[in-house]
Amino acid sequence: DMTPISPADRHYLDVWGVAKSFKGTRVMSGMNFRVDRGELVSLLGPSGCGKTTLLRIIAGLMEADDGSVVLGGRDITRQPAHRRNISVVFQSYALFPHLTVAENVAFGLRARGTAKSATAAPVAEALRLVRMSDFADRPIAALSGGQQQRVAVARALVVGPDLLLLDEPFSALDRKLRETMQVELKSLLRDRGITAIFVTHDQEEAMGVSDRIAVMNAGRIEQFADPSTLYARPASPFVMDFVGLSTRLAARVTARDGDLLSLETALGPVRAPGDLAPGSAALLAVRPELVALGQGENTLSVTLEDVMVLGSKTMLHGRAPEGDRILCELPGIRTGLARGETVSLGWAVADTLVYGVDP
Ligand code: ATP
């Protein structure tokens, strides 16, 4: 395709038509992925969907079989990794345990040919950014996991990269520290206007750190959108299931009036916006926090299978036909509801998601 790219279509990072096979097995083809300058983006998906492969192709650590990678207007497809000015923070951090913190950070500069005497100032600045100045002379082995991650980030940033890639950067940290480090790193990247791509299989992490999330499935991007669109308007059942929980019920379209569908489920009739033909099989879904106790535009009467008091919320699990799931999330601690009780659950027509299902 020789169509010239118009300026309006020009993106800071432009991955176009990338394909990759391993020993004859295609894991990715026709991959298009574009990121704007200063954006924080996540590649999110289950194990084996191709996140790391895409990241490595962008970094130049792996060669694509086909397609191109353009960064800042320059075609870097054929450039080796060390010529790309892209920094990578690896899952393991890949620090040198026998070197000090400052020596590890200086390594990034030394590897690019900076004279030893010229490393002190940028190293000090990078350590200041990650709040590790007091640890400059410590050996890596004497640091906690969070501190090691800060050093890995300092080493990645010290060279002034055009693009920062992070492969599961928080996975070695416990839950509380992970949240602290996410806030810290995000604010650092924002302040410096750095364009970064995170690889993660944790949807909360992706929602928390990114402007946009590319949800990947089997070597394809199923949806690339900001967190709120992804959550409120998932483009497919895969995306809906991957980002958050939903009530989900098998349904059949009984009538269509404009863009309003009437559907029949095992628990009763429901209405939803959509454009499926009458007779179609469908999957109906609604996010649990949009379901309330009592009547709504859509109302189903369900018997409670379980009531889970989780502290910040209480989750009601309705008894559902096999393969389906009925969830209602109420804010805070709710007492006085018990398993076996029959309740009405209601929600708005506009909050109802419908997907066509191949028969
Ligand atoms: P994870 O979250 O487990 O790291 P991922 O989404 O990053 O998974 P990739 O590592 O990109 O997935 O792998 C994509 C597919 O390519 C998988 O099916 C994987 O088995 C395969 N694959 C990746 N690297 C190689 C390789 N060097 N040789 C053969 N197959 C590979």
User: ipTM score of the complex?
Assistant: 0.95
Same fold? 7-240, 246-356: no
pLDDT at 1: 46
Could you tell me the fold of the domain covering 7-240? Rossmann fold (3.40.50)
Q: What residue's CA is closest to ligand 1, atom 28?
A: 22
Distances (CA, A) of 233 to 38, 44, 200, 244, 290: 25, 17, 21, 12, 13
First to last CA, the chain: 36
d(CA 348, CA 351): 5
Question: Looking at residues 28-45, what average pLDDT do you find?
Answer: 96
Among 22-36, 131-145, 281-295, the least confident range: 131-145
* Assigned fold of 246-356: OB fold (Dihydrolipoamide Acetyltransferase, E2P) (2.40.50)
Would the pLDDT of 144 be above 80?
Answer: yes
Q: How far is the CA of 115 from the centre of ligand 1 (A)?
A: 38
Atom of ligand 1 nearest to the CA of 49: 6
Q: Which amino acid residue places its CA nearest to atom 22 of ligand 1?
A: 22
Q: Is the pLDDT of residue 285 over 50?
A: yes
- pLDDT at 3 (0 to 100): 54
Any idea where the domains of the chain sit in the sequence?
A: 7-240, 246-356
Mutate-to-test residue for ligand 1 from 15, 18, 22, 213, highest number of ligand atoms within 8 A of CB: 22
Give the closest residue (by CA) to ligand 1 atom 14: 50
Ligand 1 atom nearest the C-alpha of 53 is 11
Å from CA of 27 to ligand 1 middle: 8
- Helix runs in 111-234, H state only: 120-129, 145-157, 175-192, 203-209, 227-232
Q: Comparing 81-85, 209-213, 272-276, which segment has the lowest mean pLDDT?
A: 81-85
Choice from 42, 47, 53, 203 to test ligand 1 binding pocket (greatest atom count within 8 A of CB): 53
Residue 108 above 90 pLDDT? no
At 115 the pLDDT is 87
pTM given for the model: 0.89
Whether pLDDT at 4 is above 70? no
Residue ranges lining ligand 1, Cβ < 6 Å: 22, 27, 45, 47-53, 201
As beta bridge partners, residue 318 has 304, 326
Distance of CA 153 to the CA centre of its chain: 20
| Residue 187 token pair | 């604010």
Which of the 8 DSSP states describes residue 4?
A: P
Q: How much is the pLDDT for 124? A: 93
What pLDDT shows up at residue 8? 54
- Give the residue whose CA is nearest to atom 17 of ligand 1: 48
Atom in ligand 1 nearest the alpha carbon of residue 25: 30
CB atoms near residue 61 (< 10 Å): 15
Nearest to 13 by CA among 67, 63, 73: 73
Per-residue pLDDT, averaged over 132-152, amounts to: 90
Please say if the pLDDT value at position 317 is more than 90.
Answer: yes
User: Is residue 6 pLDDT above 70, yes or no?
Assistant: no
The pLDDT score that the predictor gives to residue 9 is: 59
Question: Does the pLDDT value for residue 28 go beyond 80?
Answer: yes
The average confidence (pLDDT) of the chain is 92
Residue 174: φ, ψ to 5°: -75, 165
pLDDT reading at 185 higher than 50:
yes
